[in-house]
Amino acid sequence: MSVLKQVSPSSPVLPDAACALRPSACPGLLRIVAARDGGICRIKLPGGELSAAQAAVIADVSERHATGVIELTNRANLQVRGVRGGHEAALIAALVDAGFGPMASMSMSNLQLASAADDVRNVMISPAAGRDPFALFDTRPLCAELLALLQSDARFAALSPKFALLVDGGERLARLDHPHDVWLAATQSGDGVRFVSGLAGCPPVSATMANANTGAVAAVLPSQVTALVRALLHTFLDLAAADATRMRHMLTIHSIDAVLQHAQRYVDFPLSRDTSLANWQRATPADAALRLGAHAQRVVGRLHVGGQPPLGRVDAATLRSLATLSQQQGNGTLRFTPWQSVLLPDIAAHAAPAVLAEMVALGLACDPAQPLAHLIACAGSTGCVKGLADTKADALLLAERLAGGVEIHLSGCPRSCAAAHCAPYTLLAAAPGIYDLYRRDSQPDFGSCVARHVTIEQAADLLDSLAHPARSPSDA
């Protein structure tokens, strides 16, 4: 393991600026943000993992102190919606007692610092990490190291709550289309596994992506990953403008070579752009469909069983049932995914059909052919003051009219809170029940607008013709 260099006292960032906390409107565990349907409390899950006992606590507090609605987020976290006024302190205390939030050694007396430490715990790994048969490396220990780093160094409290890291172990069940500020991807080299890294983007999965500005820039040993990330985070805080929140903002001013050169002062191994990685791309294709249904794990005879709650929401009773199912048939944990779905790992092969049937009975979509498995929607006008339409209700109506396999994002306003990735099709609300339809192409934001001010019924017909252009009227 490489020895981490100490932060240089000659760092160009003044000490008070280095520790300045960045204000945020994002919900967190210790910062409940008001919404139209009540407060929102976001619970960061390390690696997306939740114990059955902790799931029961979340279910209980969501009923006692909120409306009983729990959302699965696109960063594999959970959030309690509808927190009642006057109940915030009791809800937070119950969650902290259950082991959520920053490490136990951090003093909770300084709520501002503790909240900032909780904000920056944004490390994404595969929901099948450690179990995926195709993985090159078990990223769970690395995830734990990085989370400890993020919440233990007071300087990192200055990072934006949106600043995020991806550690990809080469699994087939992996979300690779979410842009991250720093990404690392396992690759097989002549002397074993190394982690290729890049800034402000995604691991390249095609030659086009490999040639993009966000392509791979360096490769390090697994034992050097934490040191590299630490160096890059300090470099960002050293060089980024005061109003820069993401790595992409800094890269508009400083070149990647300049960033790596600056980061070199924080590590004791050579760090520079590796030109041999110019065309690097991920060798194993990812398959999002593996989040649904029953699929083999690395250990013979063990499977993970997954399902997707309608539009990423469950009630307290459903979460309790999933927790009980994981205790009875699995290992007592649930793994949440960045597709707003859930996996129950370590299910015996003979028990998988019964577990799958129970998840279907709970209302989860467990078949990739189901339209609801491909629809995402923000809180909409019932939960957000900026929402122009009831996107949740409209999405359910759309699902009834769509054929399976069409990936669609319904957004109540241009902020696109529900989707960190670029969806193939987006319905952007213009008024209650009325949307503009966008198709993803080379254009920025949602892509090109193909129809304006359409109803859900009209959108369904348009989407069917766009997604299946060769289908004749008699085939419909």
Q: Terminus-to-terminus CA distance in the chain, angstroms?
A: 60
222 vs 191, residue with greater confidence: 222
How does residue 209 score in pLDDT terms, banded at 50, 70 and 90? Answer: low
- 1-16+116-286: CATH topology is Sulfite Reductase Hemoprotein; domain 1 (3.30.413)
SS (H, E, C) 373-406: HHEEECCCCCCCCCCCCCHHHHHHHHHHHCCCCC
**Are 186 and 225 contacting, i.e. CB atoms less than 8 angstroms apart?**
no
Residue whose token pair is 């209302």: 363
How does residue 103 score in pLDDT terms, banded at 50, 70 and 90? Answer: low
Q: Which two tokens stand for residue 429?
A: 């609300």
For residue 246, give the amino acid letter.
R
The predicted pLDDT at position 470 comes to 64
Residue 220: how many CB atoms within 10 A of its CB? Answer: 22
Report the DSSP pairing between strands 192-201 and 180-189: antiparallel
Share of the chain above pLDDT 70, in %: 90
The predicted pLDDT at position 2 comes to 36
pLDDT tens readout for residues 10-69:
333 333 333 455 566 789 999 999 999 999 999 999 999 999 999 999 999 999 999 999
The predicted pLDDT at position 212 comes to 56
The predicted pLDDT at position 214 comes to 66
300 vs 106, residue with greater confidence: 300
Q: How far apart are CA 229 and CA 266, in angstroms?
A: 10
420 vs 299, residue with greater confidence: 299
Q: How far apart are CA 196 and CA 187, in angstroms?
A: 7
Nearest Cα neighbor of 26 from 116, 99, 137 is 116
Residue 67: how many CB atoms within 10 A of its CB? Answer: 16
Just give the CATH number of 304-367: 3.30.70.3340
Element (DSSP H or E) covering residue 70: strand 69-72
Q: How far apart are CA 430 and CA 305, in angstroms?
A: 38
pLDDT tens readout for residues 60-101:
999 999 999 999 999 999 999 999 999 999 999 999 999 998
The predicted pLDDT at position 22 comes to 56
CATH class of 373-475: alpha beta
Q: How far apart are CA 115 and CA 129, in angstroms?
A: 27
Q: Which range has the worst mean pLDDT, 188-192, 260-264, 400-404? A: 400-404
Tell whether the model's pLDDT for residue 295 goes beyond 80: yes
Q: How far apart are CA 316 and CA 192, in angstroms?
A: 45
pTM: 0.91
Q: Which two tokens stand for residue 74?
A: 């696109």
Tell whether the model's pLDDT for residue 395 goes beyond 80: yes
Tell whether the model's pLDDT for residue 106 goes beyond 90: no
**Are 315 and 283 contacting, i.e. CB atoms less than 8 angstroms apart?**
no
Q: What sign results for the dihedral spanned by CA atoms 222, 223, 226, 227?
A: negative
Nearest Cα neighbor of 235 from 210, 214, 255 is 255
| Mean per-residue pLDDT, 220-227 | 98
Mean pLDDT of the chain: 90
For residue 400, give the amino acid letter.
E
Q: Which two tokens stand for residue 318?
A: 């459903």
6 vs 462, residue with greater confidence: 462
Tell whether the model's pLDDT for residue 422 goes beyond 90: no
The predicted pLDDT at position 476 comes to 41
Tell whether the model's pLDDT for residue 105 goes beyond 80: no
The SS3 of residue 339 is coil
User: What is the location of CATH 3.30.413.10 in the chain?
Assistant: 1-16+116-286, 373-475
**Are 417 and 394 contacting, i.e. CB atoms less than 8 angstroms apart?**
no
